[in-house]
Structure 1
Amino acid sequence: MKIIIVGCGKVGTTLAEQLNRENHDITLIDTNDEAIQNLSDSADVMGVTGNGAIYQVQMEAGIQDADLLIATTNSDELNMLCCLIAKKAGNCHTIARIRNPEYSAEIRYIREELNLSLAINPELAAAREIARILRFPSAIKIEPFAKGRIELLKFLIPEYSNLDGMKVVDVVSRLKSNVLICVVERGNDVVIPDGNFVMKKGDKISFIASHQDSAEFFKKAGIDNNSVKSAMFVGGGKLTHYLCNLLEDTKIKIKIIERDEERCRRLSEQLPKAMIIHGDGTDEQLLLEEGIRQTEAFASLTGFDEENIMLSLYAASQSKAKLITKVNKIAFENVVNSLNLGSLIQPKMLTAEIILQYVRAMQNSMGSSNIETLYKIAADKAEALEFRVKEGSPILGVSLEQLKLKDNLLIACINRGGTIITPRGKDTIQAGDTVVVVTTCTGLNDLTDILK
């Protein structure tokens, strides 16, 4: 597909790289010629220097032949205007990044009036992920499937867990747990394990289960999963604002440390249940005075990756709190993954996932299945996808044991009208099912792509 991306910031760059890898024809628009040049040097993309909200600039970028325009500049208003012009000039699909909390209450109206295909809010998406984690603190990451009926959870096997040295096949028989282990990350290796795979302490395990079954699994595996009663957030930006709103119905006592006095005033008005502290979150004495050693969850949510990493490392040295670290640009991924940073939250990657899901569904609108959900499990090394199966698919009615599946691929779950089926060899896929597939073969667009 021909895709135009307006804005060469973190989200625009990530999207351009991801979509380029999936062989789409990418054209970038940005006022910064150097940013376009740098990305053009590293990826096979075209560049147009100019204001993406100018009709002539969009024409130069080829809007009349484009399938999709994605506006990801730092200005919500500019993004909406870019999409409005693109709709008139090219009649293509449009996606806008809209971050301001003031717009979030009216997002449905904005989408309808501007005829947007999708409105993306990176901070709100990140806040939702953090809220899920705080409700289930043993997990590093939680992703919902089948409209929330099941979840993909990632956790680290600690030293004291009885999973250390256990084969995957023994999880059901020895622990009597109804979970399906899908992916194991060991160092830089990412594998889809078979039954004989032996898990070890330090492995990052991703498994699929219902919320109730996952809680029971953690208990039987000897992993604490006490709910969080207190949380300290450093940084009072948009993400923190959304997160506190999402946690309003919980009993978590929230403390926010923010250095900008005016922002503190706004937060105290908007978030009456949270305690707002005006101060420098990197001040060791302040953190100790405000109870970093006693808090049960600590999230570093400032706008600076390096600051967030250092804050989480300090929190880890002072407490046993559940750690959450916001990181936007990972320059040294292997180094960062080796550090004790708890759950890594990457708003730009979450945004890219949502847009990739839309692009693949759009690309395959005439296929035998539609992508409903897409998550990256280990950066670009593994994906979990949820497909809705249509009539006419060639794999309908064929038992799973007869399907010639690609290597390193697992059919993890079948949702049939709200009934969750853990797939076995004799099971078949039927029209109307949603099917969750986990694989290291990234880039699947249709359920038939699972076949060799």
Structure 2
Amino acid sequence: MRIVIVGDGKIGSALAEQLSREGHEITIVDRSGAPLQRTVEDLDILSIEGNGATYATQLEAGVDEAELVIAVTAQDELNLLCCLVAKKIGAKHTIARVRNPEYAGELSLISDDLGLSLSVNPELICATEMARTLRIPSAIKTDTFFGGKVELLKFQLPADSPLAGRTLMELPGITRAKVLICAVERGEQEIHIPSGSFRLQAGDRISFVASYAGAQQFFRQMKLAAGRVRSAMLIGGGRIAYYLAKQLVEAGLDVKIIESDPARCEELSVLLPKAEILCGDGTNEAFLRKCGIETTGAVAALTGIDEENVLIGMYIRKTWPKVKVITKVNRTSFQSIIDSMDLGSVFNPRNSASNLICRYVRAMQNSGSSSQIETLYKLVGGKAEALEFRVSEGSKLCGIPLQELKLRENLLIGCIGRGGQIIIPSGQDTIEPGDSVIVVTCSMGLGKLEDILARGPGHE
């Protein structure tokens, strides 16, 4: 697929990397030649230096023949103009990054007039993901499928866990909760899509699929915190803090925001009248204690400086280990080091946005197939994926017991949704038209459900 990306910032470069890796023909446009040169050196893509909103630059970039134009510059208005011009020139689909919350209402009114296929707000997406983790605080990360009916949760296995040293086939004898362990991260490099004989170790980062009730039951039986967090302290008062606080207040949580800029504190007090706004230094231990950090259920480090967030996250985890910690990190150049630190749940707005856009691209690419991608999440720093497919009539997988399907290596069917029923599948279960199916795999680029097959269904 021919794709033009306007804006070579954090999200633009991440999209160029992910989409080129999936085999798409990428052209990236930016006003500055320096970031373009760095991106082009690392990837096999074309680059155009210029204003991506102008007719001449878009023609030079081949927008008239592009299936998709993605505008992710730092300016919302420029992104919208890029998409408007691109649609007029002939681009089939357009996506714009729009971050300003003041535009949320207007976009729903004028998206069709702009020819806009999708608008993406990285900070809102990231805040929503953060809010989900507070529903089950023992989870490092929580993603949802089937319209929120099924959770994909990740947690770190404690040394004293009854699961440590046990194989997955022993799991039913340890817990009655209906869960399916679908991925295990071990150390910095290993990732496993496990079979029943796989033996868990203390320190493993385990991803499993369950309903919300099933996940709560599982964590309770593992003697881990399963109840919702009731209060939260957000350190830093930027866009993510605003979006997160808004969602948490609406969910009934007591929310405090610590922000060092008095003017921003005034803004937040107007925008969030039900939250408590505290003006001060969120990196000062005495001030944090004065604000009541010892009694809060969760702390989110959301300043604009990664180093501050990392230090805050490490400090909270060491000083108050029972407090749920969320750490925002924008840069990914030292991802392996970040992953090795005890920072609680780590979030990157860039990854949140690029994952959503990649899902849209994958769905576009396979719009005529018998199974559509509904949801896509990147796991383990992009080394694995969890996808939700909607099965239509005509899929050659329908009606065949799962144990008879010849699946790709390192791939697992994690859950089947059928009507209101959630099925944690066994080998005797089948896929039927109308089902929603969750697939977890180390194979990148799956576009339709039939791609899970190695040699086709049935016996050899």
The TM-score normalised by the length of structure 1 is 0.97
Is the 2:181–2:206 Cα contact (8 Å) retained in structure 1?
yes
State the 1:229 CA deviation: 2.4
Report the AA paired with residue 419 of structure 1: Q
Once the two structures are superposed, the pairs formed by residues 18-57 of structure 1 within 5 Å of their partners are 18-57=18-57
State the 1:293 CA deviation: 3.0
Separation in 2, partners of 1:288, 1:412: 43
Does residue 432 (structure 1) correspond to residue 419 (structure 2)? The answer is: no
Report the AA paired with residue 214 of structure 1: A
State the 1:43 CA deviation: 0.6
State the 1:397 CA deviation: 1.8
Once the two structures are superposed, the pairs formed by residues 188-227 of structure 1 within 5 Å of their partners are 188-227=189-228
Report the AA paired with residue 176 of structure 2: K
Once the two structures are superposed, the pairs formed by residues 333-352 of structure 1 within 5 Å of their partners are 333-352=335-354
Separation in 1, partners of 2:316, 2:218: 28
Is the 1:323–1:343 Cα contact (8 Å) retained in structure 2?
yes
State the 1:160 CA deviation: 2.8
Residue 297 of structure 1: aligned partner: 298
Separation in 2, partners of 1:261, 1:142: 34
Residue 65 of structure 1: aligned partner: 65
Give 2:367's match in structure 1, choosing from 365, 388, 397.
Answer: 365
Is the 1:153–1:208 Cα contact (8 Å) retained in structure 2?
yes
Separation in 2, partners of 1:227, 1:370: 33
Residue 325 of structure 1: aligned partner: 327
Structure 1 residue ranges without an equivalent (≥5): none
Superimposed CA distance per residue, residues 383-436 of structure 1 (whole angstroms, 9 cap, x where no aligned partner): 100011122222222221111100110011111122212222122212221111
State the 1:382 CA deviation: 1.0
Moved more, 56-65 or 327-336: 327-336
State the 1:178 CA deviation: 0.7
Is the 1:152–1:207 Cα contact (8 Å) retained in structure 2?
yes
Report the AA paired with residue 37 of structure 1: Q
Superimposed CA distance per residue, residues 158-191 of structure 1 (whole angstroms, 9 cap, x where no aligned partner): 2332122222112223311211110011112110
Query: SS at 1:323's partner residue?
Result: strand
Residue 417 of structure 2: aligned partner: 415
State the 1:291 CA deviation: 2.6
Structure 2 residue ranges without an equivalent (≥5): 455-460
Is the 1:152–1:209 Cα contact (8 Å) retained in structure 2?
yes
Aligned length: 452
State the 1:2 CA deviation: 0.5
State the 1:91 CA deviation: 3.5
Is the 1:161–1:223 Cα contact (8 Å) retained in structure 2?
no
Residue 145 of structure 1: aligned partner: 145
Once the two structures are superposed, the pairs formed by residues 9-408 of structure 1 within 5 Å of their partners are 9-187=9-187, 188-320=189-321, 321-408=323-410
Separation in 1, partners of 2:221, 2:271: 41
Moved more, 340-349 or 330-339: 330-339
Is the 1:20–1:26 Cα contact (8 Å) retained in structure 2?
yes
Is the 1:305–1:328 Cα contact (8 Å) retained in structure 2?
yes
Is the 2:385–2:442 Cα contact (8 Å) retained in structure 1?
yes
Superimposed CA distance per residue, residues 291-324 of structure 1 (whole angstroms, 9 cap, x where no aligned partner): 3333221111112212211111122222121110
State the 1:278 CA deviation: 1.5
Is the 1:172–1:179 Cα contact (8 Å) retained in structure 2?
no
Superimposed CA distance per residue, residues 229-268 of structure 1 (whole angstroms, 9 cap, x where no aligned partner): 2211111111111111111233322111112221110000
Report the AA paired with residue 258 of structure 1: E
Superimposed CA distance per residue, residues 317-353 of structure 1 (whole angstroms, 9 cap, x where no aligned partner): 2212111001121212221111010001111101111
Separation in 1, partners of 2:112, 2:144: 26
Separation in 2, partners of 1:56, 1:65: 14
Give 2:444's match in structure 1, choosing from 436, 442, 445.
Answer: 442
State the 1:356 CA deviation: 0.5
State the 1:285 CA deviation: 2.8
Separation in 1, partners of 2:394, 2:182: 28
Report the AA paired with residue 169 of structure 1: M
Separation in 2, partners of 1:216, 1:379: 28
Separation in 2, partners of 1:214, 1:367: 33
